[in-house]
A and B are shown apart, each in its own frame.
Chain A
């Protein structure tokens, strides 16, 4: 069979899906039919990508497909270049702007699906390294592993949905909207794949401005206050993180003789106690604000309530994940010792302040969006608890729960946006008996609620179960692990209480408010946006191993680094004020390690000769 025919055969299922999607709904225009068809085909591609390829199973000897090194560059820079391109499009053609944006996001989604073709073994994948600012030791270094893979996919799946929803409800200043969404998307992806701390910081900060514009321009009544709050909270964390990064780099430079911002190199630095605690604190503060964890969560409800639906979806689904992702990658990777020692206390905070307090506050809310925002605090508490537990099921569950939270909370915000577009209120008491007028909407809402509270069979169950299991046997949490697991399980019940209470008040009972009598059910646009999320709820709920298999090896690596960091931290004399540099591990985990300048392609020079020392150490040659 020639490759061309094979390719045609490969395409058949997608064409079928496209056809089915395009033909089934009645009374729609051609454009909408095409759009539904494309969504169906893309969803199928996503699902097929998730499954381990059947063809490979039949011929196990087939080597994994080659990794195209520029794939991550494409994924990150297509949206950023798209944002710049949008700037040059005429403002008077909103339809064109929207189509270009959706096209770019769709392209990005397709590109990110290519990531699934490679099994996520130990080490880095799709690595791409190039010097950026050699005089500072800053490189453009991107790569993914089993942790960042899911974060990338989560953003490439949810951002198009958020954009699509936004285009439905926002009709003014489309150009700025398209620009912000695309830039935000690119920056988030960049932050997830950066392995250079400087690069990470650049993307981290780059996210701020478009998000502020999303909140501040299209937000609600208090939008400006919410925008300021979001900005100041995030910035406060990140400036201290910058100080810590600079300190780490300086320490590495004084130990190894050359400056580098590279994650792999800095992970080998063992700081003295005080410095390690301070640097860990600075990093953790930045991430904990972003997550957000109690008591630094107060920006979140404001930001969520004021942001437009699309902004809320991106914020909940992806932006908060940067905090947890950053904690896994940087706090646990760079400062294993302090992270381990602080885990028990922080876990208490995650359980008490996040899971329980968040749930109780959510229960008392009258505004549905605020309720979902606080439920977000509770869910992120679960994720953090899983990370603090430092066990394999805990961390794997946390990563899975990050994806789950993105899907279910994203869907909840979308659903809240649907009702807000129709009634322009989000007060729970305004509604009641909606199931009679909006049956499909009610069904989907109940389903997403089930996922959010973790009913077995949906995605939420798997993640929360694994986290609680991991907490129970956790080593760093010690004797508190059991208690915290029990309390976390109690938090699941609370989640059911507040979510089901609101479902009951809104959808069942008599239809009291006459304003609700004429509400229309989900329209095509909303259905298209919701369909992939609903599908994912079940796919993850029923086949979690598709996700866990790809994270397993990377979680193993994360935990190895974590325990290793803790060991070297505890071996250190508490009164010591001298930093150490661990020897290089080598192997797949350190491909792309920054070589000292001057010996990138040559073999390592003999350190006994004076010239070689000078070559190793140009910075210290100066007085």
Chain B
């Protein structure tokens, strides 16, 4: 029994333990005299040790990913002891798949940070414990089967990220952090309000119980039905904030741009993945009632509108950006739109849940890779952020440009990369669910998206830097390079031989009734 629980929850436990250890190491370790800031100021003991701590954090997260794989192979259903954690944590195949994705995304971000923080002399090694704690929250969020757990997990995840955004202490970074914090708290408050209403209407806090109670309320005209609807709206809005769907996306570009790039990468991949996981679970388990999943009287048209708005607005705005980082921020909003298409498709297609998971996995490796390539293209004092910075870089640094192109092509969904299969799976699920209009809108949007991804490639390969402009000098960092290699291998492997992963994603369902 105990073994089952410990083994089953091992990804979560290992990351939590690792976070504690890293925190101690960061607090009591010896500062590295070589890596101090030029002023000699010692802000904390972990100063100058970003590289080592980053490596440690990445190892912890990759171990977490490996353990997720182990749990998957053992089969969470076979670990009967895991029943103990229900309904607070539902540790099924869906959760384990998401945990793997989260650990992978977090690990890649930590590797990137190991190079980035050192290069840009940001002596804030608390980055790594924060990422780990936040990942713990994200994993718990993906597993949450009960409203209070859900809220605690959501806050655990978010608090870490708020701090990550403000890590730099530049005005820009602080502004971004404040914006994100305010809007994020607002969204959390909305969700909490929705949860309270749900509890009032149904008397339950576990999702499955809420689902049954809502089914029992049924078609009623009583106060319960209206309360459930209001709760649904509040919860959907709160979740839409977290996945940054249009029109709840206003914080995203600023927060993504202001944050240090590895933190951006972490936000883009892990936070979004966890938010989608919890969205699927809440919508399908708590609001999985026949009436609420119908096109006429439930959440599907709302989410479909959010999906169309996210894809269209984000893609159009992304094309107008002059900063690559900001473009990638908008692109992450657009990708949330594609994933929302799959969420809508869950109402009629059993394959849709798997398509969301697979999509999030491909999105994680491509986005982390793209941010990593952007990090690689800049060095101390010359961070590459705009298109102009990247002009002609392919001639000077072909490997960096090639890697960047690979991830962009994957984001654009050009075969044979991971991103293409992710999109294909999502749109196939949408066709299965007979959502033809959504599919066509999504595909046309991926055409618009391809334009601005291509623009980066055009700048890298076909333009020359303006005369007199400062040339971006790529950094040399084993950490960033290894993160890129891992991501690139995954992008190609998931693009050419995705079969096993596809089959696994297909059986990872939330087990709706």
Contact = CB atoms under 8 A, between A and B. Distances in A.
Contact of A209 (B395, B409, B502): B409
A12 to B, nearest CB: 45
B499 A228 contact: no
A212 B454 contact: yes
B461 A235 contact: no
A232 B451 contact: yes
Contacts of B394: 176
Contacts of A135: 499, 502-503, 506
**5 nearest interchain CB pairs?**
A239-B443, A202-B415, A216-B462, A246-B431, A250-B431
Interface string B290-309: 00000000000000000000
A206 interface: yes
Contacts of A235: 447, 450
Interface of A: 91, 132-136, 173, 175-176, 201-202, 205-206, 208-209, 212-213, 216-217, 223-224, 227-228, 231-232, 235-236, 239-240, 242-243, 246-247, 249-250, 622-623
B414 A622 contact: no
B254 interface: no
B31 interface: no
B350 interface: yes
A216 B439 contact: no
A86 B424 CA distance: 30
B256 interface: no
B404 to A, nearest CB: 13
A321 B432 CA distance: 33
19 contacts: A133-B498, A135-B502, A135-B506, A136-B428, A173-B395, A212-B454, A213-B461, A217-B461, A224-B458, A224-B462, A224-B463, A227-B458, A236-B444, A239-B443, A240-B440, A240-B443, A243-B440, A243-B443, A247-B436
B450 A231 contact: yes
A133 B495 CA distance: 11
A239 B502 contact: no
A202 B415 CA distance: 5
B327 to A, nearest CB: 16
B162 interface: no
Given A224-B458, A235-B450, 5 more contacts: A136-B428, A206-B415, A243-B427, A246-B439, A247-B431
Contact of B462 (A133, A208, A223, A232): A223
Interface string B388-413: 00000011001000000000010000
Interface in B412-426: 414-416, 420, 424
B451 A228 contact: yes
Interface in B453-489: 454, 457-458, 461-463
B447 A133 contact: no
B428 A217 contact: no
Nearest to B433: A250
A622 B454 contact: no
Contacts of A622: 350
Nearest to B425: A136
B454 A250 contact: no
Interface residues of B, number: 34
Contacts of A209: 409, 414
B446 interface: yes
A228 B458 contact: yes
A250 B439 CA distance: 13
Contact of B443 (A132, A216, A242, A623): A242
Nearest to B450: A235
Chain B binding surface, main DSSP class = helix
Given A135-B503, A201-B415, A217-B461, A236 B447 contact: yes
Interface of B: 350, 394-395, 398, 409, 414-416, 420, 424, 427-428, 431-432, 436, 439-440, 443-444, 446-447, 450-451, 454, 457-458, 461-463, 498-499, 502-503, 506
Contacts of B416: 202, 206
Contacts of B428: 136, 246, 249-250
Contacts of A216: 458, 461-462
Contacts of B420: 202, 205
A206 B412 CA distance: 13
Contacts of A212: 454, 457
A217 B392 CA distance: 10
A202 B395 CA distance: 28
A246 B462 CA distance: 35
Contacts of B451: 228, 231-232
B432 A250 contact: yes
A176 B398 CA distance: 10
B194 to A, nearest CB: 29
Nearest to A231: B454
Contacts of B503: 135
Nearest to A201: B415
Contacts of B447: 232, 235-236, 239
B398 A205 contact: no
A174 B183 CA distance: 51
Contact of B427 (A228, A231, A242): A242
Contact of B439 (A202, A217, A227, A243): A243
A209 B424 CA distance: 19
A176 B427 CA distance: 34
A227 B447 CA distance: 15
Contacts of A224: 458, 462-463
Nearest to A237: B447
A623 B427 contact: no
Nearest to B509: A622
A231 B416 CA distance: 17
Nearest to B405: A209
Nearest to B349: A250
A454 B428 CA distance: 47
Nearest to B414: A205
Most buried by A among B409, B447, B506: B447
Contacts of B350: 622-623
Contacts of B398: 91, 175-176
A247 B430 CA distance: 10
Contacts of B409: 209
B284 to A, nearest CB: 13
Contacts of B431: 243, 246-247, 250
B489 to A, nearest CB: 14
A247 B416 CA distance: 21
Contacts of B463: 224
B474 to A, nearest CB: 16
Given A136-B502, A206-B416, A231-B450, A246 B427 contact: yes
B395 A239 contact: no
A247 B440 CA distance: 11
A31 B194 CA distance: 80
Nearest to A248: B431
Contacts of A240: 440, 443-444
A240 B122 CA distance: 47
Nearest to A282: B440
B502 A228 contact: no
B150 to A, nearest CB: 26
A236 B447 CA distance: 6
Nearest to A236: B447
A153 B451 CA distance: 33
A209 B350 CA distance: 35
Nearest to A175: B398
Contacts of A243: 427, 431, 436, 439-440, 443
A136 B420 CA distance: 14
B414 A208 contact: yes
B427 A227 contact: no
A249 B439 CA distance: 14
B157 to A, nearest CB: 32
B322 to A, nearest CB: 16
Contacts of B424: 242, 246
Nearest to B512: A623
A418 B227 CA distance: 78
B446 to A, nearest CB: 6
A110 to B, nearest CB: 27
B82 to A, nearest CB: 23
